């Protein structure tokens, strides 16, 4: 039961952090699938981000090695975000406007690239402290 409670809390915290993030940085995009970026689209994207981070939470919060190295969400989050962005840009799911800072050589936006790494780390750090899922 404690595992379900922790994962539920991970989902809720990561959803909230990602919902805030999505609502701040959506202004750096021109469209989503050729149309307007609505609050519903931002809500749905936040649900998906929270699901990704919840799945990644299993080893980070419950396996001793990963609990001691919770920072590993940063490179994993970066890699996942880069893959998601590259795919979405390639198929035209969304496009950036002129204000999006672009990472050279990768040609992906900076804010979406750091999103999962940062919101994931903040979520796991908060949960591990709050639920006594210790790092040591």
pLDDT tens for each residue of 48-107: 999 999 999 988 878 888 888 889 999 999 999 999 999 999 999 999 999 999 999 999
The mean per-residue pLDDT over the stretch 5-32 comes to 96
- Main-chain dihedrals φ then ψ at residue 84, nearest 5 degrees: -60, -45
Per-residue pLDDT band at 136 (split at 50, 70, 90): very low
Query: How much of the chain, in percent, has pLDDT values that exceed 90?
Result: 76
The predicted structure's pLDDT at residue 135: 47
Helix 2-25 / helix 39-62 crossing angle, nearest 10 deg: 140
Query: What is the total residue count of the chain?
Result: 136
- Which residue, 110, 87, 83, is CA-closest to 29? 110
Per-residue pLDDT band at 131 (split at 50, 70, 90): low
Integer Cα distance of 23 and 71 in angstroms: 25
The predicted structure's pLDDT at residue 66: 85
Answer yes or no: are the C-beta atoms of 36 and 9 closer than 8 Å.
no
């Amino acid at each position: 039961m404690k595992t379900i409670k922790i994962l539920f809390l991970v989902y809720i915290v990561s959803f909230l952090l990602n919902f805030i993030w999505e609502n701040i940085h959506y202004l750096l995009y021109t469209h989503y699938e050729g149309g307007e970026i609505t609050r519903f689209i931002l809500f749905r994207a936040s649900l998906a981000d929270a699901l990704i981070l919840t799945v990644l939470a299993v080893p980070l919060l419950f396996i001793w090695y990963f609990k001691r190295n919770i920072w590993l969400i940063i490179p994993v989050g970066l890699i996942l975000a880069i893959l998601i962005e590259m795919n979405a840009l390639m198929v035209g799911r969304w496009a950036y406007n002129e204000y999006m800072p672009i990472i050279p050589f990768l040609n992906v936006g900076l804010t979406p690239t750091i999103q999962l790494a940062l919101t994931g780390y903040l979520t796991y750090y908060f949960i591990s402290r709050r639920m006594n899922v210790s790092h040591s």
